[in-house]
Each structure stands twice: as structure tokens, then as C-alpha cells.
Amino acid sequence: MKRYVLKRIALFLFSLLAAASLVFFLIHLVPGDPLVSVLGEGAHPDDILRLQQELGLDKPLMERFWHFMGRLLSFDLGRSLFDGNLVWSSIMDHLPNTLLLAAMAMCLAWSMAFPLGVYAAFRENKTGDTLITFFSTLGLAVPNFVLGPLLIILFSVMWGVLPVSGSGGFKHLVLPALTLGSSMAALSTHIVKTAVARELAEPYVLFARARGLSEFRVFWHHILKNALLSIITLAGLQLGALTGGAIITEKVFALPGMGMLLIQAVTRRDYTTVQGVVLFITFAYLTIHFFVDILYYLLDPRIAHDA
């Protein structure tokens, strides 16, 4: 029992370390001299030397690596190469928008996906199920950067009810949340439907029905508890899609969140900010994953024996 939790903790720590190392070595992918590409072709040698010392690039590789890791422990992600701001504080400035967007999108997605998925599972292969499956397949095939412009054309250009882009207030978040939420909803509906349909085929459902229990009772008291397990695990998979989707959606609507910070840093060749944002998102993702794993164990201790 304890072994499962310890194994998860070990895997979590290993992943953090590995992600940090990979991000550290990314800068070596830059073709040519990264400093020249930061400062431009005609950079003065003195400027290059100064930046080299500032970034510690004149020291041996391993020394830099340990220095980088040490700073991470104190949440020091360094300074932006573009404007010299602390990377950590620009992340904190952009984080609320992304969190709000993700939370709204998730609420929207699950409030649509849960009833639809359960309904589709109970009416498998009937008209309702076919329609829901058809529309969720369509939804999965529409990239966020196609759905977003479509919604802009409808709501902002044709009907003029919602702002096109930017930030400020609830109104600016409606279209982004709708864009991100619909793609999440399509994925979640599939997940819920598969999980519930699998439980429906179990003998205990047949027995509950044979006892004359109402369909609602069969679902609420018997199926839901078992289906929730697979739904929680699969919801973990969604986290990756949510991260990517949020980055794209923020670009579509010019919403100043983590995704915009990342894309802006990439275009400015602000490599320290890119490293910082990628690390921050990955660490957050791994931490949530870790807690999902533990939660899964608490809900169903059986998995400790399988793993």
C-alpha cells in the first residue's frame, strides 16, 4: 500500500528533475550562437561578453547546470533577456488570466459533457447516442484556432454582442472560454460515455435492475461510483490538451495569459522567459498529475496491487 504512494512520489520527483534538465539543455538547440541571435547580427563584442557573463555562459557546463538547479529550488527563474524583468513576476502577472480561462472552460465543458455522456451511454446505438457521438466527433475535429475565429465572426462581427479580443472583465472571457470549453466538452463526452457504457455491461448492473431498482438509482448508487474512477484517470489526460488549447486560445483572442507570454517570448528570442514559462507550466502539470494519482489510489486502493 505504502509502496504505491512512495513509487508515485519517486516518479514525481524524477519527472521534475528530468523536465528541468531537458529545459536547461534546450538553449543548446539554438542554431549558431544563441547570444548573437538574441543581440542581433551586428552586436558589439563587448555586449556579447557582458551578456555572456550575466548569464554565466562563460562557466563550464556542469557548473551552470548545478547553478540553474539551485536557483530553481528558490523559485528563481532568472531575468528576461528582453526587458530585464524577473521571469517569476511576469509569470505571476499572466497566471490569473489563464487560470480563470481554464476554470471557466472546464466548468463549461463538464456541465455539457457529463449529462450528454451519461445520456449517450444509456441510449447506446439509438438516435440520441448517434447524434451526440457525431457532434462530439465534429467538435474534436475543429481546432481551437478555427472555432475561435468562427465565434468571433458570429458574436462580434455579425451580432456585435461580445468583444473580439483583449482583456478586461467577464465579457472578454466568454468567447475564449466557449472556444476552449467546446473542444474540452467534445473530449469529455467521449470519456464519460465510454466509462459509463463499460459499467453498464457489468453483471452488478443486471442484478440491480433485476431487483427492480429505478434506472436513476441504478445509475446514482451503483454505476456512478465505479465510472468515476476511470473518468478521473482520463480527465488527467485532458490536462495536456487543456494546456495546449489554452495557449492557442489566448493567441486567438489576444488574451494576456501564460500562452501569450510564452509566444511573445519566443518571437522576441527571450530564451530565459521561454525556459521559465515552459518549466512553470510543466511543474504545475506534473503536480496536478501527482495529486490525481494519489486521489485515484484513495478512491480505489485496488490499483496499488496492479501497479
Neighbouring residues of 132: CB distance < 8 A, sequence distance ≥ 6:
116, 117, 119, 120, 189, 193
Q: How far apart are CA 226 and CA 115, in angstroms?
A: 17
Record the cell numbers describing residue 162, joined without a space. Answer: 461580445
CB of 222 to another protein, least distance (A): 26
**Which is closer to another protein, CB of 29 or CB of 201?**
29
CB of 126 to another protein, least distance (A): 15
* Contact between residue 68 and residue 23 where contact means Cβ atoms under 8 Å apart: no
**Which is closer to another protein, CB of 19 or CB of 39?**
19
190 C-beta neighbours (distance < 10 Å), count: 20
Cα–Cα nearest to 252, from 105, 108, 152, 140 = 152
CB of 133 to another protein, least distance (A): 9
* Interaction site with another protein (CB under 8 A): 11, 14-16, 18-19, 22-23, 26-27, 29-31, 137-138, 140-143, 145-146, 149-150, 152-153, 157, 239-241, 243-244, 247-248, 251-252, 262-263, 265-267, 271, 274, 278, 281-282, 285-286
CB of 120 to another protein, least distance (A): 15
Query: What is the number of residues in the chain?
Result: 307
Cα–Cα nearest to 72, from 146, 11, 16, 1 = 16
**Which is closer to another protein, CB of 123 or CB of 268?**
268
What's the burial of 192, exposed, middle or buried (CB within 10 Å: 0-12/13-18/19+)?
buried
**Which is closer to another protein, CB of 55 or CB of 152?**
152
Q: How far apart are CA 155 and CA 264, in angstroms?
A: 27
**Which is closer to another protein, CB of 181 or CB of 259?**
259
CB of 58 to another protein, least distance (A): 20
**Which is closer to another protein, CB of 64 or CB of 209?**
64
CB of 21 to another protein, least distance (A): 8
